[in-house]
Amino acid sequence: MRVDDARAIAGLATLESVWRDARRQSTARLIDAVRRGETLTITGFVAMFLLVVAAAILSTLIFVLARNVRRSVARLAEELAARARVERSEKLLAEVVEQSPATILITDTGGIIRYVNRRFEQASGWPREDVIGQTPKFLESGDTPRDDYKEIWRLLRNGDRWQGLFRNLRRDGSSFWVDTVILPLRGTDGVIHSYVGVGEDITDRREARDQVARAQKLEAVGLLAGGIAHDFNNILTTIIGSAHLAAEEAATGSEQAQDIAQISIAARRAKALVRQLLGFARRETSKSEPIKLYGAIGEAADLLRAAIAPTILIETPDDAPICVLADQTHLHQILINLGTNAAEAIGERPGSIRFSVDRPTDPPADLPDRPDGWVQLCVDDDGPGIPEVERQRVFDAFYTTKPLGKGSGLGLAVVQGLVQDMGGLVRIGTSPEGGARFCVLLPAAAAGSGQRAVPDAGVVPHGHGRLLLVDDRTEIAATFRRVLERLGYRVDAFTAPEIALKAFREKPDRVDLVISDVVMPGMSGTELVTEMRKLRPDLPVVLWTGFKRAALDLPGPAPAVLSKPVDPLDLARAVHEALLPAKQS
Ligand SMILES: Nc1ncnc2c1ncn2[C@@H]1O[C@H](COP(=O)(O)OP(=O)(O)OP(=O)(O)O)[C@@H](O)[C@H]1O
Ligand SMILES: [Mg+2]
C-alpha cells in the first residue's frame, strides 16, 4: 500500500513535536519534581534539625528545672531542719528559764512585768497571772532605801548590771531573801528592750546563819553566866545567910519580918535564875519530882505581888491536890516568867493576872498518853494580847518588844525549852478579856505524892558541937559562923585554909565537924580535908561549892556537898545529919 508520504511525514512531525513536548514537559516535571523533592528534603531536614534543637532545649530546660527543683527541695529541707533546731533550742531555753532554780523576772523598759518563772511563783507565793502587767513594787519590804532603787534604774538605763540583796515580801506577808542580779537585755540592733532579774532564794541559808548566830549568842550567854555565877552565888550566899539571921531577930508578923521574908524570897529567885541561866545555856539535866502545883503557884504569886505594880491583881485558883512531875526550880521559873510577862504587858494601869489549872480530858494529839495524864496550867492577862503573826516569834531567844535594858527576850524561850524538856508543850491564845493567854501542858503526877514547893521553914534542926568553918570569903565565913552559932554550935571560922589546917593540927580532937568551901586560893577544900583526915580518918565533913558539883576524891566517909548559894536550912540539916553517926559512935 502506498502511503501518502507527506501526510505521513506531517503526521510524524506532529507526533515528534507532541513527543518532544511531552518529553519536555515530563523533563520539566521531573526537574520540577526533583527540585520539589530537594526542597522537601531540605524542609524535612530543617524541620528535623529544628525538632532536634527543640528537643535539646527542652531537655536542657527540663534538666535545669529538675535540678532547680531538687536544689529548692534540699534548701527547703535544710531550712526546715534549721528551723526545727532553732525551735528545739528555743524550747530548751524556755524550759531552762521556766524550770531554773533561780527566780527569774523579766520586765519591759518601763518596769512592767512580762514574765516570771515557776521558781519565782514558788518563792513569792504569787501566781504569774496576778503579777504580769504589774510593776515589782509589791515585792518591796521597805528594807531597801529609795535611793538604792534610783541607783538601780540609773545603772540599768546606762546598760549596766546591778547585783545585791533584797528582802522581798511574800504574798502571805512573810519575807524571803534573794541574792539578785538585774541586767538589761538588748536586741540584735543593740537597743535595750527588757530587763531581767535573776535571784537566788537564800532565805534558808540566812536562817541557818541566824540560827548559828543565835547559838553562838547563847553560848556567849552561857559563858558569861558561868563566869559570873560563881561570884554571884557567893554574894547570894551572904544575902540568904544574913536574911536568915535578920529574920530570927525580927518579931514574928512584924513589917520588918515581912521585908526580910521578901529579901529571902528574892534572893532565892536570884539563885534559881542563875541556875536557870546556866541550865538554859548548857542544857543541864533537871531533876523531875512530883510537885504540888497549887503550892508552886501560890509561891510564885507571892513573889510576883511583891515585885509588880500594886494596881495589878493576881488571882490564883483554890487549892486542889494536883501534882506535876517537874523540876522544882524549872516549874518556878515557868510560873515567874509567864507571870512577869503578863504584868509587863498590863503595865502601869490596873489589870489582872489569872492563874488557872485544869485536867484536860483530851490533851493534844501530839502529846503521848500517860497513865497519870496531863495538867494544863494557864496564865491569862487583860493586857493588849499578842497579834497572830507574832505568836511564833515570841518564843525566839532574844526576841523582845521591850526597850533596851528592860527585856532580854529569853523569858519565853526558857519557858518553851523547859516545858519541852518535861515532854509538854506551850500554847498561846487569847484570854476572855482580850489579853494574852499562855497555857502549858505538863505531865501530871499521882496526887498526894507531891512535895511542897518550899521546904517548911519551921524545922531548923539545932545541935551542939565544935565546928571548923573555912571559906575564903570573909563575909560568908562571918555570916555562917553566926548562923551556926545561933543553931547552938561553937564555931571557929577561918578564911585561909592553911591557917585552919594549922589550928586543926594543934588540937585535932577538939573539932567535931569541918565545913569547907571547895575552891579556895592556896589550898582546895578537898586537899584540906584530906590532910585533916590523915589525923582523924572519920572526921565528919560538909563541903559547899559555887561550881558545878564534880566527883570529889576524898579518903574516908563521903561528905555532904551543898551548892552555893547555901541555904541556912540546908546547912543546918546537913550539919545535923553529919554529926549524928559521930555522936552515936
Ligand atoms: N502576856 C503577854 N502579853 C503581850 N505580849 C507578850 C506577853 N508575853 C510575852 N509577850 C511578848 O513576847 C515577847 C517575848 O517575851 P519574852 O518573855 O521571851 O521576852 P521579854 O519579856 O521581852 O524579855 P525577858 O523575859 O527576857 O525579860 C515580849 O517582848 C512581848 O512582846
Ligand atoms: Mg519576859
**Substitution candidate for ligand 1 out of 412, 416, 419, 427 with most atoms within 8 A of CB:** 412
Length of the chain: 585
Q: Are strands 560-563 and 436-445 parallel, antiparallel or unpaired?
A: unpaired
**Substitution candidate for ligand 1 out of 394, 416, 438 with most atoms within 8 A of CB:** 394
- CB 410 near ligand 1, within 6 Å: yes
Gap from CA of 49 to ligand 1 centroid (Å): 115
Gap from CA of 227 to ligand 1 centroid (Å): 26
pLDDT tens by residue, 426-453 = 999 999 999 999 999 999 988 765 554 4
Average pLDDT over residues 42-47: 86
pLDDT of residue 396: 84
Q: How far is CA 91 from CA 94, 104, 108, 292, in A?
A: 5, 16, 21, 71
Q: How far is CA 257 from CA 90, 246, 260, 480, in A?
A: 88, 8, 5, 20
Gap from CA of 410 to ligand 1 centroid (Å): 8
- CA separation for the pair 546, 42 (Å, rounded): 142
- CA separation for the pair 270, 237 (Å, rounded): 11
- CB 383 near ligand 1, within 6 Å: yes
- CA separation for the pair 530, 497 (Å, rounded): 12
Nearest CA to ligand 1 atom 8: 341
Residue whose entry in the numeric block shows the C-alpha cell 591557917:
499
Ligand nearest to the CA of 439: 1
- CA separation for the pair 232, 425 (Å, rounded): 32
Nearest CA to ligand 1 atom 7: 341
Torsion of CA 59, 62, 67, 73, to 10 degrees: -160
Gap from CA of 312 to ligand 2 centroid (Å): 17
- CB 407 near ligand 1, within 6 Å: yes
- CB 414 near ligand 1, within 6 Å: no
- Residue type present at position 525: G
Cα 281 to its chain centre, rounded Å, is 18
pLDDT of residue 378: 96
Cell digits of residue 14: 506532529
The beta strands (E) that lie in 54-144 are given as 103-108, 113-116
- CB 563 near ligand 1, within 6 Å: no
Residues ≥6 apart with Cβ < 8 Å to 373: 359, 363, 444
Gap from CA of 344 to ligand 1 centroid (Å): 8
Torsion of CA 481, 487, 492, 496, to 10 degrees: -40
- CB 412 near ligand 1, within 6 Å: yes
- CB 400 near ligand 1, within 6 Å: yes
* Residue 279: pLDDT band with limits 50, 70, 90: low
- Residue type present at position 179: D
- CA separation for the pair 403, 394 (Å, rounded): 15
- CA separation for the pair 85, 81 (Å, rounded): 6
User: Closest Cα partner for 477 from 492, 462, 488?
Assistant: 492
- CB 413 near ligand 1, within 6 Å: yes
Nearest CA to ligand 1 atom 11: 394
Phi, psi dihedrals of residue 490, rounded to the nearest 5°: -100, 130
Residue 1 pLDDT > 60: no
- CA separation for the pair 256, 250 (Å, rounded): 6
Gap from CA of 574 to ligand 1 centroid (Å): 40
- CB 262 near ligand 1, within 6 Å: no
Residue 575 pLDDT > 80: yes
Secondary structure, 3-state, 376-438: EEEEEECCCCCCHHHCCHHHCCCCCCCCCCCCCCCHHHHHHHHHHHCCCEEEEEECCCCCEEE
Regarding predicted confidence, which is higher, 136 or 556?
Answer: 136
pLDDT of residue 289: 86
User: Which atom of ligand 1 is closest in space to residue 400's alpha carbon?
Assistant: 29
pLDDT of residue 509: 93
**Substitution candidate for ligand 1 out of 344, 346, 388 with most atoms within 8 A of CB:** 344
Q: Which of 115-124, 222-231, 393-402 has the highest mean pLDDT?
A: 115-124
- CA separation for the pair 495, 476 (Å, rounded): 9
Average pLDDT, rounded, for the chain: 87
- CA separation for the pair 443, 257 (Å, rounded): 37
Phi, psi dihedrals of residue 89, rounded to the nearest 5°: -70, -35
Q: Contact at 8 Å (CB) between 483 and 542?
A: no
pLDDT of residue 449: 58
- CA separation for the pair 132, 80 (Å, rounded): 34
pLDDT of residue 454: 45
Regarding predicted confidence, which is higher, 179 or 14?
Answer: 179
Q: Contact at 8 Å (CB) between 104 and 121?
A: no
- CB 198 near ligand 1, within 6 Å: no
Residue 181 pLDDT > 90: yes
Residue 240 pLDDT > 70: yes
pLDDT of residue 585: 44
pLDDT of residue 456: 47
Ligand nearest to the CA of 221: 1
Regarding predicted confidence, which is higher, 236 or 39?
Answer: 236
- CB 386 near ligand 1, within 6 Å: yes
- CB 399 near ligand 1, within 6 Å: yes
Q: Which of 24-33, 85-94, 386-395 has the highest mean pLDDT?
A: 85-94
Beta bridge partners of 442: 375
- CA separation for the pair 302, 76 (Å, rounded): 96
- CB 114 near ligand 1, within 6 Å: no
